[in-house]
Amino acid sequence: MEEGSKQCLEAIKSIPVEEGLFTMPDSAGGFHLVGSQCNFCGTVAFPKKKRCIKCFGADIAIVPLSSRGKVATWTVIRMKPYGYKGQVPYVLADIELPEGLHLRTQLSGVNPEAPAVNIGDEVDAHVETIYQDDKKNDVLCYKFRKV
């Protein structure tokens, strides 16, 4: 392989869609969503916050969040939201985590033309490529899929 080609291949990497939302997957595929918890009132937030969203306290701990949850509700998105670079249509779900949080996220592995999703379905989180940026880097985001 030519030196220039090798350097070009090494420059392509996986990057998060936004820093701090989740840890990058390890060699076994493990990762977690990153939230915050108020050390005063115990409120958990996602994405992580610098101040509590309930009591506005500044004594905040960064915490890993559960990777499993349940579908609270869902819909099919057919038009691209402003700035969105992924594919449409897709299934968007409100996922309730055991910490009491609700996340709006895509459900992968569900056909948006014939979605087989029920309120209460158990789901787990994973990371997948949502698009390639102008440098051909894989841009990763968390999504959930049915268990």
Q: What is the pLDDT of residues 84-123, one digit of tens each?
A: 888 899 999 999 999 999 999 999 999 999 999 999 999 9
CB-neighbour burial class of residue 141 (10 A; exposed 0-12, middle 13-18, buried 19+): middle
Residue 137 token pair: 């880097």
pTM exceeding the 0.85 threshold for the entire prediction: no
Contact 124, 145 (CB under 8 A): yes
Report the pLDDT value the prediction gives residue 38, as an integer from 0 to 100: 97
Cα–Cα distance between 33 and 64 in angstroms, integer?
A: 6
Cis bond before residue 25 (omega within 30° of 0): no
What pLDDT does 125 receive? 94
Q: Where are the alpha helices (DSSP H) in the chain?
A: 3-11
Per-residue pLDDT tens digits for 38-96: 999 999 999 999 999 999 999 999 999 999 999 999 999 999 989 888 889 999 999 99
Distance (Å) of CA 130 to CA 15, 35, 88, 99: 11, 22, 11, 26
Read off the pLDDT of each residue in 27-36 and give the average, rounded to a whole number.
Answer: 86
